[in-house]
Amino acid sequence: MQLNDRRISVGLVGLGRLGRHHAENLAFRIPHCTLTAVCSVKEEEVTAAKRELGVPYGYTEYEEMLKNKELDAIFIASPSGFHCKQIEQALAAGFHVFSEKPLGLYIEEALQVQEVVQRHSDQVFMLGFMRRYDRSYAYAKRQIEAGSIGEPVLVRCYGLDPAQAMPSFLQFAKNNYSGGLFLDMAIHDLDLARWYLGAEAQAVWAIGGSHRYPELDQLQDAETGAALVQFEGKKMGIFVAGRNCVHGYHIETEIIGTHGSLRIGTNPEKNQVTLMDERGVIRECTNGFLERFEQAYLDEVIEFIRCIRENRKPEVTVDDGVYSTILGYACKQSFETGQLVTVQSVSPAKV
Ligand SMILES: NC(=O)c1ccc[n+]([C@@H]2O[C@H](COP(=O)([O-])OP(=O)(O)OC[C@H]3O[C@@H](n4cnc5c(N)ncnc54)[C@H](O)[C@@H]3O)[C@@H](O)[C@H]2O)c1
């Protein structure tokens, strides 16, 4: 078959908040891709996806989906605690794999997956750090590479989920262990800081608290947290993460360099509309990750499918998953113990 005719047949696991959105993209919006199978432990989600998205095969058991010989790739959007095992199973069964972030919730499992990916180097593996595919974040990276701000030395990030999403998050957190604020939310920013600074983390001090929703204390999580990270070469990271942002979904990043700085999303505006009425001059805020990163969720998957068709590797690697999990876990340890934590150093995979 000519490359241009080749369609990649995908089986997706996890049909929740994000998985269902990915399923719609895979079914209708990604070129050269067919969503052939879906899997969820909730049968009603499988039935709905089959009916509404025209998917021929549905499963409530992941292992059964892996027996489907029509599939080329597995797309993992299940809760974070399942990622490592499901990645290993899919690679062992011969599939290309896309997994949502984080790679894993524990360092040991992330290192184990790194080895498995290394062993299956002829298969494509990609991790869902979609912010790297957001046009503004990608533009900032190109500016840094072009030397526009000199040497990047400090990254400051805000990653704040809307307060209105708190009830659904509390439900999610009770049923699925997310790894906590730093591994679940700040992980995108931790990855971006590594990417922009071109350096790995060495030490972290993290703090946090739950003031409006003390229920989060019982889940050993924090409503709002902050981490101060020392990177190699005396570079620095300041990360604020939270789940109680009353004005909406606020994702903001600043990169300070020796000869300038870049800011992304300083005012997290929904669009270019300004409303003027008796309340004043109003710019609405984005209301969640699906709205803010709509384009990035599409472009990362377009890239995954292209990599399979063109027999090449994506820029986001298993190493990015390992390093970010190690750093996220160090933040979590520091938050829990109140101590400065040294970040474990690891070798990159030889893939
Ligand atoms: N990249 C991002 O910006 C981003 C945003 C949100 C979520 N995520 C990640 O996506 C993943 C899913 O998050 P979500 O918010 O959609 O979760 P969710 O709880 O809404 O959905 C989880 C889905 O997985 C299914 N499921 C649970 N256990 C399963 C199993 N053992 N086998 C098969 N299916 C199973 C559930 O039935 C549900 O369909 C998480 O790892 C999360 O960290 C990433």
Tell me the per-residue pLDDT of 294-336, one tens digit each, with 9 for 90 and over. 999 999 999 999 999 999 999 999 999 999 999 999 999 999 9
For the CA of 82, the nearest atom of ligand 1? 31
Q: For the chain, give the percent of residues with pLDDT over 90.
A: 91
Distance 41 CA to ligand 1 centre (A): 11
pLDDT in tens, 208-260: 999 999 989 888 899 999 999 999 999 999 999 999 999 999 999 999 999 99
In angstroms, the CA 163 to CA 16 distance is 20
Does the global pTM surpass 0.85? yes
d(CA 134, CA 115): 29
Q: What's the burial of 106, exposed, middle or buried (CB within 10 Å: 0-12/13-18/19+)? A: middle
Q: Which residues are bridge partners to 237 per DSSP?
A: 155, 229
Residue 16 CA to ligand 1 centre (angstroms)? 5
Residues with CB under 6 A from ligand 1: 13-19, 39-42, 45, 62, 77-80, 82, 100-101, 128, 130, 172, 176, 184, 289
Edge to edge, what strands does the sheet with 73-76 contain? 57-59, 33-39, 8-13, 73-76, 96-99, 125-127
DSSP state of 305: H
Which two structure tokens, joined as six digits, stand for 283? 């710019």
